[in-house]
């Protein structure tokens, strides 16, 4: 983690522009097709009914903004985050992201159990666009952040790590990527209590450097602590975009009025 963020865009240019974004999913759980089925039944049995998880969503996020996404389960928060991360493609409109992204999504997804922790650090960082030299530079920092247990086992196969140690290493690698935009899906803090504090400190340090944060969370504490702007998603659309506290108030009011 360096202290100065390198931006490619002009200071007043939005770093994320979402225009008329829409994505359609099949309602039936089973989507996977089977040739056998197609031949026997002359078609597929799966439900062709679709729904729009998100539609006509538009907003802009500028440099240094910390945006919290609020909404109930299944309202498209994670889906929106994935489309900004580029790991889902929209069916309508587009999401333009003009800066590099450090996605704190599926933290241990890129690690391979057979390889050592050291090799895994190089591989995962490499997949997120870091060169070997850049990883060399940050290697000690990553290991130090992940903690002494990780350091002791750095050349052991990754599968011998406890699940807690695995996510700690994942968190350490991604937050060292030095990308101007940070996307977080619930996993703002991982591991035991002591490590969670370290995660919070790291997040605050990253934000102080003026990075842009996009946070999906159900924790009101986290949202209030880190975010200044809130987006409230409901029924596949943005129903409110404004001050974080105001958005949370509206969200809580909606929940109260439903129950």
Partner 1 sequence: METTRLAGIWSQRKVLDTLVRRDLRVRYARSWLGYVWTLIDPLAMGLVYFFVFGVLFGRTTGSDDLVFIVYLLAGMLPWNWFNNSINETARALYAERLLVRSTNIAREMWVIRVVIAKGIEFLLSLPVLVLFVVLILFGADLGSGNLSLNERLIAIVPALLLQFVLCVGMGLVMAPVTALVDDFVRIVRIVLRMLFYFTPIVYSMELVDDKLPWARDLMVWNPLVGIMDMWRVGLSGKVGVDGWAWITATIVSFAWLAFGLWVFRKLEPAVLKEI
Q: Which of residues 61, 85, 121, 189 is near partner 1 by CB under 8 A?
A: 85
**Under the criterion CB under 8 A, does residue 126 sit at the interface with partner 1?**
yes
Nearer to partner 1, 158 or 232 (CB): 158
Nearer to partner 1, 24 or 241 (CB): 24
Task: Name the helix (H) or strand (E) containing 181.
Answer: strand 181-185
Residue 171, classified by CB atoms within 10 Å of its CB into exposed (0-12), middle (13-18) or buried (19+), is: buried
With beta carbons less than 8 A apart as the criterion, state whether 230 and 248 touch: yes
Considering CB under 8 A, how many residues would be counted as binding partner 1?
33
Span 26-45, contacts to partner 1 by CB under 8 A: 31-36
Q: Which of residues 16, 21, 95, 105 is near partner 1 by CB under 8 A?
A: 105
The span of 107-115, 146-154, 187-195, 215-223 binding partner 1 (CB under 8 A) equals 107-115
Q: For residue 220, give both structure tokens.
A: 């009101």
213 - beta bridge partners? 66, 182
Nearer to partner 1, 49 or 114 (CB): 114
Give CA separation, 233 vs 99, 124, 220, in Å.
24, 32, 15
Give CA separation, 251 vs 70, 224, 240, 254, in Å.
8, 13, 9, 5
Nearer to partner 1, 69 or 101 (CB): 101
**Under the criterion CB under 8 A, does residue 95 sit at the interface with partner 1?**
no
Closest CA to 169 of 197, 141, 193, 194: 141
Q: How far does Cα 106 stand from its chain's mean position?
A: 8
Q: Which of residues 20, 106, 197, 201 is near partner 1 by CB under 8 A?
A: 106
Q: Residues 171, 172, 178, CA angle at the centre, nearest 5°?
A: 105
Q: Which of residues 131, 162, 219, 252 is near partner 1 by CB under 8 A?
A: 131
**Under the criterion CB under 8 A, does residue 89 sit at the interface with partner 1?**
yes
Residue 128 per-residue DSSP state: T
**Under the criterion CB under 8 A, does residue 137 sit at the interface with partner 1?**
no
**Under the criterion CB under 8 A, does residue 4 sit at the interface with partner 1?**
no
Please report, as ranges, the residues that interact with partner 1 according to CB under 8 A.
23, 25, 31-36, 82, 85-91, 101, 103, 105-106, 109-110, 112, 114-115, 119, 122-123, 126-129, 131
């Amino acid at each position: 983690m360096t202290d100065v963020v390198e931006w490619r865009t002009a200071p007043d240019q939005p770093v994320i522009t979402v225009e008329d974004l829409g994505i359609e999913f099949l309602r039936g759980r089973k989507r996977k097709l089977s040739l056998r089925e197609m031949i026997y039944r002359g078609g597929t049995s799966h439900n062709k009914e679709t729904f729009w998880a998100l539609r006509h969503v538009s907003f802009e996020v500028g440099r240094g903004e910390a945006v919290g996404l609020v909404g109930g389960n299944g309202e498209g928060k994670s889906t929106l985050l994935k489309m900004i991360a580029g790991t889902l493609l929209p069916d309508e409109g587009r999401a333009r992201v003009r800066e590099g992204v450090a996605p704190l999504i599926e933290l241990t997804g890129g690690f391979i159990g057979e390889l050592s922790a050291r090799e895994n650090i190089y591989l995962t960082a490499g997949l997120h666009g870091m060169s070997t030299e850049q990883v060399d530079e940050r290697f000690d920092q990553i290991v130090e952040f992940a903690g002494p247990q990780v350091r002791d086992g750095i050349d052991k196969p990754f599968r011998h790590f406890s699940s807690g140690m695995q996510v700690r290493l994942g968190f350490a690698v991604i937050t060292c990527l030095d990308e101007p935009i940070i996307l977080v899906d619930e996993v703002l803090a991982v591991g035991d209590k002591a490590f969670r504090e370290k995660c919070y400190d790291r997040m605050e340090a990253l934000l102080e450097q003026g990075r842009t944060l996009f946070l999906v969370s159900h924790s009101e504490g986290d949202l209030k602590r880190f975010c200044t702007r809130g987006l409230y998603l409901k029924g596949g659309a943005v129903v409110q975009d404004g001050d974080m506290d105001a958005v949370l108030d509206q969200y809580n009011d909606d929940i109260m009025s439903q129950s």
